[in-house]
Structure 1
């Protein structure tokens, strides 16, 4: 693999992988580090890619795995602990930001536990069918359906005091 090939791959997949990583780790600098690490690993081990799936799927799986590793890491846990001690009480939030429905929904999704957040991401944002979500996460179809149902319930509870009546009616 030469330099032009890897540059083309990075150009095609960087934005998608950054959004995916951010949805897991909730920090842009960390997401950027993870995606950079994914491309470095792919460059070093590109000969191991067996093309049983698309390159996008392969890189996505690498990104998700690196995100999960990061979330389990000591560095992440220390950062969370440090942030909890050093964070200042939040003042009144800017009313315009609170009214931004997309931001509110995104924040609610990011507050979900990881196992619910990832099924929401794959199902709604990646628009994958339940069967493919199950394959990506190594779960049964019924487990994915159950997690989707629970994630929707949690989101409804989270958003019920807001102007999200559309989500509350099925």
Structure 2
């Protein structure tokens, strides 16, 4: 029996399987949109509750993942409207983004962590509409037509937002590198 059919039969094991299968993906998506891990987890919990209650509305079982993505996006938008997230600044947790465990040297691991931290901070500096398209396009690997469908915007609007988001990200990252270069001499090694 397919997972969606089991969910429609309200089998608890199917809900657990759904959460195990899509939980990390949805949390990562929500985190990139909301900038807060705890709030992202809450949005994903709401997503699973809504999905479980409204599973009969899903017409094509093959579109389960995209249906869940649309629900989590709506939950994130709702949270963004309720709270002022502009003043929240949180530390990046690099292990939340990694999916595969590869063996890296300590130097490579540090450089990857720094890159991910800088990229995450830069994404979080963007306005929500730009964070949304960047997250869906690059991290969730959605096509522009899919993003347009979920956001209820025109494809050209999504293309435009994506282009602006890339430029803004580039500016933020370049400014960060320039700041480091300018202040490199101020960073001193501890003396013994």
Q: Same fold (TM over 0.5)?
A: yes
Q: 1:141 is matched with which residue?
A: 155
Q: Does 1:107 align with 2:121?
A: yes
> Would the aligned equivalents of 2:123 and 2:131 in 1 still touch at CA under 8 Å?
yes
The correspondence of residues 80-91 of structure 1 with structure 2, limited to 5 A, is none
The Cα offsets for residues 39-76 of structure 1, whole Å up to 9 and x where unpaired, read as 11222222232227611111111100011001101xx2
Q: Does 1:31 align with 2:40?
A: yes
Q: Does 1:54 align with 2:63?
A: yes
Instruction: Kindly tell me the number of residue pairs found equivalent between the two proteins.
Output: 148
SS of match in other structure, 2:175: coil
Q: 2:51 is matched with which residue?
A: 42
- Indicate how the Cα distance of structure 1 residues 127 and 45 shifts in structure 2: closer, same or farther if over 3 A, else same: closer
Structure 1 stretches of at least 4 aligned residues deviating more than 6 Å after TM superposition: none
- Indicate how the Cα distance of structure 1 residues 142 and 18 shifts in structure 2: closer, same or farther if over 3 A, else same: same
Q: 2:21 is matched with which residue?
A: 12
Q: Tell me the CA shift for residue 141 of structure 1.
A: 1.6
Q: Tell me the CA shift for residue 163 of structure 1.
A: 4.2
User: Which consecutive residues of structure 1, in runs of 5 or more, have no partner in the other structure?
Assistant: 85-95, 165-170
Q: Does 1:158 align with 2:172?
A: yes
Cα distance in 2 for residues equivalent to 1:56 and 1:121:
15
Q: Tell me the CA shift for residue 7 of structure 1.
A: 0.9
The correspondence of residues 66-105 of structure 1 with structure 2, limited to 5 A, is 66-73=75-82, 76-77=83-84, 100-105=114-119
> Would the aligned equivalents of 2:23 and 2:44 in 1 still touch at CA under 8 Å?
yes
SS of match in other structure, 1:161: helix
RMSD over aligned CA atoms reads 2.4
User: Which consecutive residues of structure 2, in runs of 5 or more, have no partner in the other structure?
Assistant: 1-9, 90-109, 179-192
TM-score by structure 1 length? 0.77
Cα distance in 1 for residues equivalent to 2:50 and 2:154:
29
> Would the aligned equivalents of 2:26 and 2:72 in 1 still touch at CA under 8 Å?
yes
TM-score by structure 2 length? 0.69
Q: Does 1:121 align with 2:141?
A: no
